[in-house]
Structure 1
Amino acid sequence: MKKNIGLLMMIIFGLALLTGCGSSETASIGMLKQSGDWIYYTDTKAEALYKMKADWTGKTKLADNFASGYMVIQGDTIYYSGMNGGVSKIQTDGTGAANVVDVGKESSYGFEVSGDWIYYSTKPGSIYKIKTDGTEKAKIADISSFEGDMKVSGDSIYYADGISLFKMQTDGTGVMKLLDNAVIHAVEGNWIFYGDKNQKGEYENVNRMKTDSTGQTKLAEGVFTAIDGNSLYYSKDGWLYRANLDGTAAEKMNKVKMWNILDIHGEYIYYGEYSGAAYRINLDGSDKKQFE
């Protein structure tokens, strides 16, 4: 099930009303993703990568000395940002650890995985692609005012150049300006989900438009959180809402305020508190479980 969590994988919802127990045995979750029947997560205290079944059994350590702020799971492979700012990978059974992208002395903004390719960007504004096996590295573009805001879908790369949103082909050709004063959140099918940038430099509202920039529509007042399947999630006044992808049938999901959302998968929300404690709850706020 494809999903997109908002910028930096953490969306601020307000002060937590729930407090972690602070026990030395409590996991401090850095990042988390559910893929199929498995939950993959990092424990920053243990500096390790773990997996656990969605029924809370089968907890297994996959790797030690693991510190990463971002990961993508594709099939049986986990791609993650490495300690050197590049991109590394490991199989979901903990084998086959390897470095794929070495940025050397450059600083990396981040990466996207699409099919057999990894797309990544380095400061001050170069975009590259490389096969997932580490071959066929090629520079796609140099962008003067690029700050890492990029999504890849099909044969197109959607990116921000300064305050404007552009798209181009994955070979760097066909550059097209789409919109000004916008931040890109997700690309789903023929639709781009984006936010407006106000005069204070803050992003607001949840909007969508077609990938050719037509059909621009405001969907909701609030902050984009995630897309999971055919549902759009956003926060408003500190609460989490779910709506159809066209913004209709919006509903408040629960009565629990959360500090940050780590992942939304099916009927589950994974969220963390300022203390580092992390929990899973159902969309209605019931059946709260803490990671240990």
Structure 2
Amino acid sequence: MAVGARSGHDEPEERPRQLAESSPAVTGSAETDGESGTSDASGPGESSHGSGTGQKKQRSFWKELPLLIGIALLLALLIKTFLVQAFSIPSDSMQNTLQRGDRVLVDKLTPWFGSEPERGEVVVFHDPGGWLEDEAVPEPNIVQEFLSFIGLMPSAEEKDLIKRTIAVGGDTVECKKGGPVKVNGKALDEPYIYPGDTPCDDQPFGPLKVPDDKIWVMGDHRQNSQDSRYHQEDVNGGFVPVDKVVGRAVVVAWPIGRWSTLPVPDTFDQPGLNAAGAVVPPALGLAGALPIVLWRRRRLTGARTAG
């Protein structure tokens, strides 16, 4: 599965995806000679003075090697399928957060438990509707197909992208020329944007209401990223269906000198950003207080009547 992060200049991209026993000793039974106090370690057909030890011959390493390789490949396949997978970055659309050639580890476990992308997360997702349709697909050989199947080599057959989640289902997102990106009316402070870029001057948009079960994504290199802004005419209106998301990129694993985590920026934690969440607690408080007020009023009315 290859990660594509298509640039704004439609340059050809590669979409590699890479991830990047002791033998038991068995001895013969040792029976104590009741008369002489000596041990009888002889096996059937051997005299008590025989030199046999009863120890099995150690198994050859070369005989165990195929089994070890098979177990390793099975574990690699299970890890790649259910836990974590490595993807390679082939373009510059996520600079400077991610550089061309970086390898990132993507968490594939939490989506199995119903977790959905959140604002600010860097996510890998399948092409939602022709975003990479003009990209050439190289013809892999048999070895590459096998290694890509177990997650040790990139796969060229599937086209994936990597972007930052800006808004989720229920949000209203917009960006006017010369202004910041706004989510639910709150301006985002985006220090991760590539130096010299503007939030959206090349492609202003919105306001747009994000449908349920979809997300709005943008590249950090805004003037070099073909993201949701440029695909508003496709079948999904530029939004990415949640079921197309492979997982969240959590770590830059390679090269070693660039090892780092990929946390959610603080701007996505600002108060009031989640408009729905800001309304729910007061509404619940009012609903809980209303029965108490009515009960108290009834008691006071009953007391006055009795008096």
Normalization by structure 1: what TM-score? 0.20
Structure with larger RCO (C-alpha < 8 A, sep 6+): 2
Normalization by structure 2: what TM-score? 0.19
Which structure has the greater CA radius of gyration?
Answer: 2
Which of the pair is proportionally richer in helix?
A: 2
